[in-house]
Amino acid sequence: MPHNAENITELHWLFDMLHHIDVGLVVLNTHYEVELWNGFMENHSGMSSSIAKKQSLFDLFPDLNRRWLGQKLDNVVALRTPIFISWEQRAYLFPFKSYRPITGLADNMFQNIALRPLANADGTVKHVCLVVYDVTDVATNKVALSSANRLLDQLSKTDALTELNNRSCLDKALVAVFNAFTADALVADKPVTDKLVDDDLVMNSNNTHSLVMADIDNFKKINDQYGHPVGDVVLQKVARILSSGSRKMDFVSRYGGEEFAILLPNTGTDGALFFCEKVRKKVAAAKIVTDKGDISITMSFGVADLRKTDKAVSSWLKRADEALYRAKKEGRNQSVVAD
């Protein structure tokens, strides 16, 4: 085969390969006009090479961010260095549909993009090649995995029946608040000259935090009389009342059984007592609808503020528990503040 014929054959193979390769290839000149538009781009855009050629990329895709992409293309030409755009930075450049099974998670194709300078024989750069990689499978798998991990993390912190924070999550929150309070207290006890170094901490050291232990009165009788499914309905109703009566910053949890714990950051005993009375009256006034008829209940509350004399979280919890015990002992359906 003559040498020229061999070259033509190789060139034909090369063009055939570029046309059928499973990545998008677009060559732009410095005016952002299309010089090459391969089969991948034709198939996914619905525009043939003859239509796209010599058209500005920004005319073909008016929604492209011209300033953002144009700056990157200019940098590729000026610096003669490639630039990469990950799907995690921008889900896609070209709004192509995702041709995955109907169970696919993505409507559009996730894309990684490479912008590469194309050097002429004399070393000048007048064109940029955009390489479009379809990474939909990788992206959707990663998104699904992240979503599953978030769900597992949420489930590990949540009480399944009431959907409040669970005991384990409460323990961590109490330790975090206790440690911050202890650190602030240490700064507040420093000499005045040292306090100037930690002004912010000194201001925070005046914060007071309260813990509320709450318990449904005579809950065992409800379970004994109506059965545990009705008891579960009561617990769920109480959980909703406690949540609706709290602020975003408050930490409402199920401590165990019919007992609940509410951490009230930056709240003194007066504020905590106001919260308890508001919720207590709301619970007492509520008619809990069950398949065994409407049920009325009451709750008792014990409040303890965090003090410097509390050497551990357990001593803070103990004082709140003792206040709750007094509320029970003195007749139930009331709120008591720890001494």
pLDDT per residue as tens digits for the range 254-295? 999 999 999 999 999 999 999 999 999 999 999 999 999 999
- Strands (E) in the chain, as ranges, are 24-29, 34-37, 83-85, 111-119, 125-134, 210-216, 251-256, 259-264, 288-290, 293-295, 299-305, 335-337
2 pLDDT band, cuts 50/70/90, is: low
Q: What is the mean pLDDT of residues 82-111?
A: 84
* Entry pTM: 0.65
**Pairwise CA distance, residues 251 & 265, whole Å:** 8
Beta strands 299-305; 335-337: pairing state: parallel
103 has pLDDT over 90: no
State the average pLDDT over residues 191-215. Answer: 62
Residue-wise pLDDT for 154-176, tens only, equals 888 999 999 999 999 999 999 99
Other beta carbons within 10 angstroms of residue 274's beta carbon come to 13
- Looking at residue 190, what is its pLDDT? 57
Q: What integer pLDDT is reported at residue 13 of this predicted model?
A: 80
pLDDT of residue 7: 76
User: Model confidence over 216-234: pLDDT tens digits?
Assistant: 999 999 999 999 999 999 9
Q: What are phi and psi of 271, to 5 degrees?
A: -65, -40
Please say whether the dihedral angle defined by the alpha carbons of residues 262, 265, 269 and 270, taken in this order, is positive or negative: negative
Coil, strand or helix at 169: helix
Query: For residue 99, is pLDDT > 80?
Result: no
SS3 227: coil
- The confidence score (pLDDT) of residue 77 equals 95
Q: Distance between CA 87 and CA 109 in Å, rounded? A: 10
Res 100: pLDDT: 65
* Residue that the structure tokens 């085969």 belong to: 1
pLDDT for residue 207: 77
Query: For residue 315, what pLDDT is reported?
Result: 96
Average pLDDT over residues 74-98: 93
Q: 23-68: per-residue pLDDT in tens? A: 999 999 999 999 999 999 999 999 999 999 999 999 999 999 999 9
Q: Which domains does the chain show, CATH number per domain?
A: 2-142 (3.30.450.20), 158-188+206-337 (3.30.70.270)
> Quick one: pLDDT at residue 17?
81
Residue 75 has a CB neighbour count (10 Å cut-off) of: 15
pLDDT value at position 143?
86
d(CA 216, CA 258): 6
pLDDT-based confidence at residue 201 (cuts at 50, 70, 90): very low
* Mean pLDDT, residues 183-205 taken together: 52
Task: Compute the distance between CA of residue 201 and CA of residue 190 in angstroms, rounded to an integer.
Answer: 11
Nearest one of 295, 297, 315, 294 to 306, comparing CA atoms: 315
Considering the chain, what is the average pLDDT of its residues?
89
The reported pLDDT for the residue numbered 299 is: 97
Contact predicate 288/295, CB 8 Å: yes
Q: What's the confidence (pLDDT) of residue 104?
A: 58
Q: What percentage of the chain carries pLDDT values higher than 90?
A: 75
Q: What is the pLDDT of residue 192?
A: 47
Sheet holding 259-264, edge to edge: 251-256, 259-264, 210-216, 299-305, 335-337
- pLDDT of 78 over the 80 cut: yes
Mean pLDDT value of segment 85-92 = 93
Residue 195 scores a pLDDT above 60: no
